[in-house]
Amino acid sequence: MLSVENLNKSFKSDGGEVHAVRDVNFRAGDGEMVAIVGASGSGKSTLLSLLGLLDAPDDGSIEMNGTQLAHLDAQGRTRYRSRQVGFVFQSFNLIPNLSAKENVKLALEFADWPKEDRDARAEAMLAMVGLGGEKGNRRPSKLSGGEQQRVAIARAFAAQPQLILADEPTGSLDRATGQKIVELLRNAASTLKTTVLVVTHDEKVAQQADRRLEIEDGVLTEIA
């Protein structure tokens, strides 16, 4: 269970202070897929950064299964990211000189998974996203966009995180492939009982989520 209360984040810019996230409150249950929609500059990415502990909030709380995360130190945030959060990016962000399997194993390495289990776990995760067998040995450049995003999803779920943050996961894909990716995320969320937050501006993607939230000028509201 993810619980966010009174979360605020502001930045100083040339034009003065920008309040990117304002008093954000929401909850998301295990296995639930929540879509956050909003225009460019609405505060989506900032919110995702705060939830992924890539940035520290000015105030407010982020609680994951009863553990307060908002005020962890840098080491604690790194540890949390490696074990409790998985990221899926719009442009996949796979390491180009590593194979698909090695990319997945990277997340297991950072999460300190037992070395002897990493191979099997990576293969299982790739099989889960439909990239079993020989494709696991291919480098990202030898995979299609959809396949790369599948690898990214396998990597994100590999260390059994409690939270997946997907930033425009279909943004670089055609509609049909994007549809499959969303289905994959949704299935993985329910199967692995992982909370998935999908940031998107694509209404069709958002409609497939269990709940939809809209962010505008840093203010998050639930869409009925």
Partner 1 sequence: MNALRRGARNAFRNAMRSVGVVVILGVAIALSISMLIARGAVDAKISAVRSSTGNTITVSPAGFFAGQGGGTPLTTAQVTGLLSVPNVTAVQASLSERLSSTQTNLTSPTLAGSLGQRFGGFAGGASGSAGSLSVPIRVTGTNSPGTSLVGGANGGGTEKLTAGVAFSATSHADVAIVGADLATKNDLKVGSTFRAWGATITVVGIYDAGSTFANAGVLMPLATVQRLASAANQVTGATVTVNSLGNVSGAVSAITKKLGTAADVTSTQATVQSQLAPLNSVKTISTYTLIGAVVGAAVILLLSMLMIVRERRREIGVLKALGATNRSVASQFVAESTTFTVLGALVGGLVGVLISSPLTSALVSASGGASPTGFVRSGGGFTGAGTGFTPPAGAGGALGFRGFRGISNTLSQLHTSASWSTLAFALLAALVIAAFGSTVASATVTRVRPAEVLRSE
Candidates 107, 188, 197, 206; binder of partner 1 (CB under 8 A) is 107
148 counts as binding partner 1 under rule CB under 8 A: no
48 counts as binding partner 1 under rule CB under 8 A: yes
Looking at the Cβ atoms of 155 and 212, the one nearer to partner 1 is 155
Candidates 63, 102, 119, 214; binder of partner 1 (CB under 8 A) is 102
218, containing H or E segment? none
52 counts as binding partner 1 under rule CB under 8 A: yes
**H-state helical runs in the chain:** 44-51, 74-84, 100-110, 115-128, 145-158, 175-192, 203-207
Q: Determine the Cα–Cα distance for residues 141 and 136; give it in Å rounded to an integer.
A: 12
110 counts as binding partner 1 under rule CB under 8 A: yes
DSSP assignment letter at 120: H
Q: Using CB under 8 A, which residues numbered 79 to 98 contact partner 1?
A: 79, 81-83, 85, 87, 89-91, 93, 95-98
Residue-wise burial string across 85-101, b where 16 or more C-beta atoms lie within 10 A, e elsewhere: bbbbbbebebeeeebbb
Cα 6-31-82 angle, rounded to 5 deg: 70
- The end-to-end CA distance of the chain, in Å, is 21
Looking at the Cβ atoms of 120 and 224, the one nearer to partner 1 is 120
Q: Which residues bind partner 1 (CB under 8 A)?
A: 45, 48-49, 52, 54-55, 75, 78-79, 81-83, 85, 87, 89-91, 93, 95-98, 102, 105-107, 109-111, 155, 167-168, 171
